[in-house]
Structure 1
Amino acid sequence: MADQFPLHESVFNGDIRKVSQLLRTHDVSQKDSHGNTPLHLAVMLGHKECVHLLLAHGAPVKVKNLQGWTPLAEAISYGDRQTIMSLLKKLKSQSRDALEDRRPALIQALKDLGDFYLELRWDFQSWVPIVSRMLPSDICRIHKKGSCIRLDTTVLDFNGMHWERGDITFVFNGDAKPSQSLTVLDNKLHVFQRIRYEESEAELEDEVDILMSSDIMAAQMSTKNITFSRAQSGWLFREDKTEMVGDFQADFYAVNGLILESRKRREHLSPEDLQKNKALMENLSKGALVDNCDIERRRALTPPPPPRVSWREYIISRPGHSPCLGRMPVSKENSKTFKATVAMSTEFPMTVEALLDVLEVISPFKQFQKLREFMTSKLPPGFPVKIEIPVFPTVTAKVTFNEFEWKDDLPAAMFLIPRSFREDPNRFPDL
Structure 2
Amino acid sequence: MALLDQFPLHQSVFSGDIKQVSKLIRMCDIAQKDVHGNTPLHIAVMMGHKECIHLLLAHGAPVKLKNALGWTPLAEAISYGDRQTIMLLLRKLKHQSRETLEERRPFIVQALKYIRDFDLELKWDFQSWVPLVSRILPSDICRIRKRGVQIRLDTTLVNFTEMHWERGDLTFLYNGDAGPCHNLTVLDNGAEVYQRVRYEDFEQELEDEVDILMSSDLIAAQLSTKDISFSRARSGWLFREDKSEMVGDFRSDFYSVDNLVLESKKRREHLTAEDIQKNKAIVESISKGAWDCTEDSSDDFGRRHSLLPPDKSSCSWDDYIAAPGGYAACLGRQWVAKESLKDFKATVAMSDEFPVTIDVLLNVLEVMAPFKQFQKLRDFMSSKLPPGFPVRIEIPVFPTVSAKVTFTSFQWTDDLDSSLFSVPAHYKEDPGRFPGL
TM-score range, shorter chain: 0.7 to 0.9
- In structure 2, the partner of 1:386 is 392
Matched, 1:30 2:32: yes
- The more displaced of 64-73 and 43-52 is 64-73
The 1:396–1:223 alpha-carbon spacing in structure 2 relative to 1, beyond 3 Å, is: closer
SS at match of 2:338: strand
Q: How many residues align?
A: 429
Q: Mean alpha-carbon deviation: is it higher for 83-92 or for 184-193?
A: 184-193
Indicate which of 59, 63, 66 corresponds to 2:65: 63
2:180 and 2:366 map into 1 onto residues whose CA distance is: 14
The answer as to 2:357 corresponding to 1:334 is: no
Identify if the C-alpha distance between structure 1 residues 268 and 347 changes in structure 2 by more than 3 Å, giving closer, same or farther. same
- Of residues 1, 9, 12, the one that matches 1:10 is 12
Match of 1:139 among 113, 119, 141: 141
1:162-220 alpha-carbon deviations (Å, 9 max, x no partner): 98765432211111112211112233443322222343212222222222122222221
**1:314 Cα deviation (Å)?**
3.2
1:336, CA displacement in angstroms? 0.2
Report the Cα offset of residue 222 of structure 1. 0.9
Pair 286,177 (structure 1): closer, same or farther in 2 beyond 3 Å: farther
Which residue is equivalent to 2:406? 400
Q: CA deviation at 1:301?
A: 0.7
Q: Which residue of structure 2 aligns with residue 199 of structure 1?
A: 201
Task: Give the aligned partner of residue 279 of structure 1.
Answer: 281
Query: Using the alignment, how far apart are the partners of 2:406 and 2:140 within structure 1?
Result: 11
Residues 133, 287 of structure 2: 8 Å contact kept:
no
Cα distance between partner residues in 1 of 2:127 and 2:321: 51
2:104 maps to which residue?
102
Q: Is 2:306 the counterpart of 1:300?
A: yes
Within 1, Cα distance between the matches of 2:68 and 2:120? 42
* Conserved 8 A contact 2:376-2:397: no
Deviations along 1:81-122, one digit per CA (max 9) or x if unpaired, are: 111111111122122222222111111111111100111222
Which sits farther off after the overlay, 100-109 or 123-132?
123-132
> When the two structures are superposed, what TM-score results if normalisation uses the length of structure 1?
0.88
Which residue of structure 1 lines up, in the alignment, with residue 250 of structure 2?
Answer: 248
Q: 1:260 Cα deviation (Å)?
A: 0.1
Q: Which of 170, 189, 205 does residue 168 from structure 1 map onto?
A: 170
Do the aligned partners of 1:122 and 1:399 also contact (CA within 8 Å) in 2?
yes
1:357 deviates by 0.8
- Opposite residue 399 of structure 1, the aligned amino acid is V
Q: Is the 8 A contact 2:119 2:412 kept in 1?
A: yes
> Conserved in 2, the CA contact under 8 Å of 1:35 and 1:64?
yes
Residues 1:86 and 2:69 aligned together: no
2:41 to 36, 39, 42: 39
1:375 aligns to what?
381
**TM-score of the superposed pair, with normalisation by structure 2:** 0.87
Equivalent of 1:152, from 154, 178, 181?
154
User: Could you report, residue by residue, the CA deviation over 1:356-385 in whole angstroms, capped at 9, with x for unpaired residues?
Assistant: 110012227899999767535532221111
SS of alignment partner, residue 303 of structure 1? coil
Q: Secondary structure at the match of 1:229?
A: strand
Contiguous gaps of at least 5 residues in structure 2: none
Distance 1:348 1:193, change over 3 A: same
> What's the CA shift string for 1:337-359, capped at 9, x where partnerless?
11122222111101111111100
Distance in 2, Cα, partners of 1:365 & 1:274:
28
Whole-angstrom distance in 1 between the partners of 2:323 and 2:167: 57
Q: Secondary structure at 1:355's aligned position in 2? A: helix
What is the CA RMSD across the aligned residues, in angstroms?
Answer: 3.3
Letter in 1 for 2:264: S
Percent identity among equivalent residues? 68
| Higher mean displacement: 399-408 or 282-291 | 282-291
Partner residue, 2:77: 75
**For 1:418 and 1:207, how far apart are their aligned partners in 2?**
32
Secondary structure (helix, strand or coil) at the match of 1:400 reads strand
2:240 corresponding residue in structure 1? 238
Bigger drift between 126-135 and 395-404 goes to 126-135
Give the conservation status (yes or no) of the 8 Å contact 1:386–1:398: yes
Contact 2:45 2:53 in 1 (8 A): yes
Q: Residues 264 and 399 of structure 2 are in contact (CA less than 8 Å); yes or no, is this contact kept in structure 1?
A: no
Q: State the AA in 2 paired with 1:23.
A: I
CA contact 1:191–1:422 (8 Å) conserved in 2 = yes
Name structure 1 gaps, 5 residues minimum: none
Aligned counterpart, 1:350: 356
- Offset, 1:57: 1.5
